[in-house]
């Protein structure tokens, strides 16, 4: 390669920097990449090579400088010219009403106040200073007046722009926001730490703080950190829009990442409604939040309201109730699950966590108990996260009483006495009793009846427990033999509930192949796998007859799942149960398949964008089963773009390129072309689940 002329190299480097920054923004800030990763890597490598050849071309805002500078001796202290404020808290609806009333009184407003609402991130407050659009300093909040410069560390965070995009930014712009670690990243780095024999971080907030306070930026660079921006400190040589939400929109235009949850709400009623809705969705977010922040949206009104000591009068944090409490671990019992797995469960001295009394918490497995050094009698911290089973976070070693006992897993099943065997992974212990074990039987039946399986309404856990205990039911097939008289003899079964249950059992017989497969409770066959198997093979017979290899042709079936399937169908006991279920009248419409070698969408490439009414994974699977390729970014080579609600830049790009765009009905038409429509089903006399036609009496 000939060395480029200096001028040409400078131009190329500048172009590459802009191009990489633009893609960085689309990938990390908008979460909507324009090009494949390989293409991005190629651009970055070209810039690295160019800078290696011409070191003079390296600028502090070059994307190559994110990998982490040399270690520091310590962090410089910096002074915040505009103090970094904290927030007043509200712990109840009444306190929120009090806040709103104070705001209205101060503003002498008869009208409802317009508030901006957004999640309260549980991370670290950070200030980013941009001069002429270039990031020159990043600092922690510290005590609000003095913080520490963590510039080199923050530079490694991909969602923090090293240079602002677009135009119109003030000459000096200090942006404030929260740096946090996404939950998925937190799990990953903790797993890696454990593999190395280290302890890992207690929670994502500590992990983010620890990562940001690294003296070696190269370590920070390897930590999955992200940032949401929510405010402005110092500002000169430019201006902001007149409201909070519009100024946040401006920040976003300049390449800064802002919360997608930001909404405008009216009055305190709007605030309380937002709070409740977000609280419900809290567990589905990929980051920890500890409440909601409400801010008076008008910046003019904010100025009138001003500050008290260190908090603005125009904002409040409505905090979620505490989710961790301390209690005593009284005993450890062992539960036997549907597949025989033994799970140690902590019996706790009852404690109220976030308004709910907690008496049990899962301990997962023996390894976890050992790792956390949990002993019977310890004082422990219990966490309840939404409707998830409560967890023992850790013990409080300082409070350990002298008489604690070390727990050991049993070598025989605590329910049926069968031998306990260890899974190949060496972590999970299992009862070898199979359906001989009443616990496994009970769990298998609960699963069979559950909403996403056969959906037998009214057959709750307590009822299943009674049925199994009284030996009225020992397999799912026995459920369909239950009669009015038997059911009426059970606790809490009046005439009406008995009648309803019989009806529900009857209704449940009409199902789908995918649901039925899932309901059987075959190990590792979840809903998605069951759906994939049903779509791929079309009939129960075909799945039963498929060997290990044929099964692995299904998208998410590997050797382990294939082995479980073959083992399941080989068991005479299972064959008998299947036969009885079909005999009882369980049926589904035939899944009419294209011949396996006919893949009508072979070679076609699809991109899914926007919110669709089914999980993307399901749509993707359906498309893949017809031979299509599903990719993440739109290009000239894309054949179809499936656009759901609120589709954004991918849809725009598809329109620009003149690609074929499908809405959901359009996609359904494509997927449900004539050859794939569910065909009608015939009556038949004999259960023939191994026969030619499974479409049964309906």
- CB closer to ligand 9MJ, 316 vs 641: 316
> At closest approach, how far in Å is the CB of 226 from ligand 9MJ?
13
Enumerate the H helices of 54-134 as residue ranges: 93-107
> At closest approach, how far in Å is the CB of 299 from ligand 9MJ?
13
Q: Is the CB of residue 570 less than 8 Å from the CB of residue 554?
A: no
Distance (Å, rounded) from C-alpha 177 to C-alpha 468?
56
Q: Is the CB of residue 505 less than 8 Å from the CB of residue 464?
A: no
Burial classification of residue 323, based on how many CB atoms lie within 10 Å of its CB (0-12 exposed, 13-18 middle, 19 or more buried): middle
Beta-strand (E) ranges in 257-313?
263-266, 289-296, 307-308, 311-312
The window from 118-126, 245-253, 626-634, 666-674 that contacts ligand 9MJ (CB under 6 A) reads 118-126
Q: Which residue has the tokens 């996403």?
A: 452
Most distant pair of Cα atoms in the chain: their distance: 94
Q: Is residue 315 involved in binding ligand 9MJ (CB under 6 A)? A: yes
> At closest approach, how far in Å is the CB of 214 from ligand 9MJ?
22
> At closest approach, how far in Å is the CB of 85 from ligand 9MJ?
5
Which residues, including other chains, have CB under 8 Å from residue 365's CB and lie 6 or more apart?
A: 343, 344, 427, 428, 429
What tokens were used for 235?
A: 């500002």
Q: Residues binding ligand 9MJ: what is the number (CB under 6 A)?
A: 10
Q: Which one of residues 16, 50, 78, 85 is an interface residue with ligand 9MJ (CB under 6 A)?
A: 85
Q: Which residue has the tokens 């013990």?
A: 395
Print the SS3 string covering 557-622.
CCHHHHHHHHHHHHCHHHHHHHHHHHHCCCEECCCCCCCCCCCCCCCCEEEEECECCCCHHHHHHH
Q: Is the CB of residue 25 less than 8 Å from the CB of residue 161?
A: yes
> At closest approach, how far in Å is the CB of 86 from ligand 9MJ?
7
Degrees (nearest 5) of the Cα angle 35, 36, 38?
125
Burial classification of residue 225, based on how many CB atoms lie within 10 Å of its CB (0-12 exposed, 13-18 middle, 19 or more buried): buried
- List the catalytic residue out of 120, 295, 319, 604: 120
Q: Which residue has the tokens 């769990």?
A: 443
- CB closer to ligand 9MJ, 244 vs 588: 244
Distance (Å, rounded) from C-alpha 387 to C-alpha 7?
62
- CB closer to ligand 9MJ, 265 vs 525: 265
- CB closer to ligand 9MJ, 121 vs 358: 121
DSSP 3-state assignment of 655?
A: helix
Q: Is residue 230 involved in binding ligand 9MJ (CB under 6 A)? A: yes
- CB closer to ligand 9MJ, 293 vs 561: 293
* CB-closest chain residue to ligand 9MJ: 121
Ramachandran area for residue 354 (φ above 0: left; ψ -120 to 50: alpha; else beta): left
Q: Which one of residues 80, 120, 141, 536 is an interface residue with ligand 9MJ (CB under 6 A)?
A: 120
Which residues, including other chains, have CB under 8 Å from residue 132's CB and lie 6 or more apart?
A: 171
> At closest approach, how far in Å is the CB of 94 from ligand 9MJ?
22
In the residue annotation, 650 being an active-site residue is answered as no
Q: Binding marks (x or -) toward ligand 9MJ, 406..435, rule CB under 6 A?
A: ------------------------------
> At closest approach, how far in Å is the CB of 294 from ligand 9MJ?
9
Least Cα distance to 447 among 460, 434, 458, 428 occurs for 460
Q: Which one of residues 231, 344, 438, 538 is an interface residue with ligand 9MJ (CB under 6 A)?
A: 231
> At closest approach, how far in Å is the CB of 96 from ligand 9MJ?
16
Q: Which one of residues 121, 150, 366, 429 is an interface residue with ligand 9MJ (CB under 6 A)?
A: 121
- CB closer to ligand 9MJ, 296 vs 517: 296
Q: Binding marks (x or -) toward ligand 9MJ, 550..579, rule CB under 6 A?
A: ------------------------------
For the CA atoms of 159, 164, 166, 169, the dihedral, rounded to the nearest 10 degrees, stands at 130
For the CA atoms of 24, 30, 36, 42, the dihedral, rounded to the nearest 10 degrees, stands at 0
State the CB neighbour count (10 A cutoff) for residue 182. 17
The window from 115-123, 146-154, 427-435, 479-487 that contacts ligand 9MJ (CB under 6 A) reads 115-123
The window from 43-51, 116-124, 460-468, 546-554 that contacts ligand 9MJ (CB under 6 A) reads 116-124
The window from 114-122, 335-343, 345-353, 681-689 that contacts ligand 9MJ (CB under 6 A) reads 114-122
> At closest approach, how far in Å is the CB of 265 from ligand 9MJ?
14
Q: Is residue 464 involved in binding ligand 9MJ (CB under 6 A)? A: no
Q: Which of residues 259-298 bind ligand 9MJ (CB under 6 A)?
A: 293
The window from 117-125, 341-349, 473-481, 617-625 that contacts ligand 9MJ (CB under 6 A) reads 117-125
The window from 113-121, 147-155, 205-213, 374-382 that contacts ligand 9MJ (CB under 6 A) reads 113-121
Q: Which one of residues 34, 87, 225, 346 is an interface residue with ligand 9MJ (CB under 6 A)?
A: 87
Beta-strand (E) ranges in 256-303?
263-266, 289-296
Say which DSSP state 179 is in.
E
List residues binding ligand 9MJ (CB under 6 A). Answer: 85, 87, 118, 120-121, 178, 230-231, 293, 315
Residues serving a catalytic function are: 120
């Amino acid at each position: 390669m000939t060395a480029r002329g200096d001028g040409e190299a400078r131009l190329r480097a500048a172009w590459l920097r802009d191009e990489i920054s633009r893609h960085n923004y689309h990938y990390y800030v908008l979460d909507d990449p324009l090009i494949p990763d390989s293409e991005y890597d190629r651009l970055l490598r070209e810039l690295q090579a160019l800078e290696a050849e011409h070191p003079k071309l390296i600028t502090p805002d070059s994307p190559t400088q994110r990998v982490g500078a040399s270690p520091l001796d310590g962090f410089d202290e910096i002074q915040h010219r505009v103090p970094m404020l904290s927030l007043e808290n509200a712990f109840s609806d009444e306190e929120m009403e009090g806040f709103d009333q104070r705001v209205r009184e101060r503003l002498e407003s008869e009208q409802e106040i317009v508030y901006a609402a957004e999640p309260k991130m549980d991370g670290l407050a950070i200030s980013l200073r941009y001069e002429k659009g270039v990031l020159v300093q990043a600092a922690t909040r510290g005590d609000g007046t003095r913080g520490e410069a963590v510039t080199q560390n923050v530079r490694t965070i991909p969602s923090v722009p090293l240079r602002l995009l677009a135009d119109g930014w003030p000459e000096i712009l200090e942006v404030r926001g929260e740096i946090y670690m996404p939950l998925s990243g937190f799990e990953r780095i903790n797993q890696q730490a454990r593999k190395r024999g280290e302890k890992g971080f207690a929670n994502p907030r500590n992990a983010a703080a620890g990562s940001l306070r690294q003296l070696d930026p190269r370590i920070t660079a390897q930590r999955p950190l992200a940032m949401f921006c929510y405010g402005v400190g110092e500002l000169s040589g430019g201006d902001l829009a007149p409201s909070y939400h519009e100024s946040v929109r401006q920040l976003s235009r300049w390449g800064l990442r802002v919360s997608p949850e930001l909404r405008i709400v009216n009055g305190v009623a709007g605030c309380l409604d937002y709070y409740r809705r977000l609280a419900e969705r809290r567990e589905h977010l990929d980051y920890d939040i500890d409440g909601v922040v409400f801010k008076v949206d008008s910046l003019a009104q904010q100025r009138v309201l001003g500050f008290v000591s260190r908090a603005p009068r125009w904002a409040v944090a409505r905090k979620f109730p505490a989710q961790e409490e301390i209690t005593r671990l009284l005993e450890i019992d062992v539960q036997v699950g549907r597949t025989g797995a033994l799970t140690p469960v902590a019996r706790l001295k009852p404690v109220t966590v976030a308004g709910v009394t907690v008496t049990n918490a899962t301990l997962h497995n023996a390894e976890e108990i050992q790792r956390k050094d949990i002993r019977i009698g310890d004082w422990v911290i219990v966490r309840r996260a939404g409707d998830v089973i409560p967890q023992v976070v850790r013990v409080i070693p300082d409070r350990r009483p002298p008489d604690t006992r070390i727990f050991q897993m049993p070598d025989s099943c605590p329910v049926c006495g069968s031998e306990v065997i260890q899974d190949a992974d060496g972590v999970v212990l299992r009862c070898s009793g199979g359906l001989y074990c009443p616990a496994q039987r009970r769990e298998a039946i609960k699963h069979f009846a559950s909403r996403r399986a056969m959906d037998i309404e009214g057959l709750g856990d307590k009822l299943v427990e009674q049925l199994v205990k009284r030996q009225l039911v020992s397999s799912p097939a026995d459920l369909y033999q239950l009669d009015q008289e038997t059911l009426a003899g059970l606790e809490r079964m009046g005439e009406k509930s008995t009648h309803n249950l019989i009806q529900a059992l009857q209704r449940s017989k009409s199902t789908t192949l995918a649901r039925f497969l899932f309901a059987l409770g075959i190990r590792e066959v979840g809903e998605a796998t069951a759906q994939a198997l049903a779509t791929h093979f079309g009939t129960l017979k075909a799945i039963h007859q498929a060997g290990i290899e044929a099964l692995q042709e299904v998208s998410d079936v590997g050797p382990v799942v294939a082995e479980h399937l073959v083992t399941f169908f080989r068991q005479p006991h299972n064959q008998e149960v299947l036969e009885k279920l079909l005999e009882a009248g369980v049926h589904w419409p035939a899944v009419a398949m294209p011949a396996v070698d006919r893949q009508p969408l072979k070679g076609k490439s699809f991109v899914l964008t926007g919110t669709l009414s089914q999980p993307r994974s399901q749509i993707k699977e359906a498309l893949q089963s017809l031979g299509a390729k599903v990719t993440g970014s739109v290009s000239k080579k894309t054949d179809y773009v499936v656009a759901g609600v609120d589709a954004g830049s991918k849809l725009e790009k598809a329109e620009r390129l003149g690609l074929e765009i499908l809405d959901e009905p359009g996609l359904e038409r494509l997927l449900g072309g004539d050859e794939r429509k569910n065909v009608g089903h015939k009556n038949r006399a004999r259960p023939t689940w191994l026969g030619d036609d499974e479409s049964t009496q309906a």
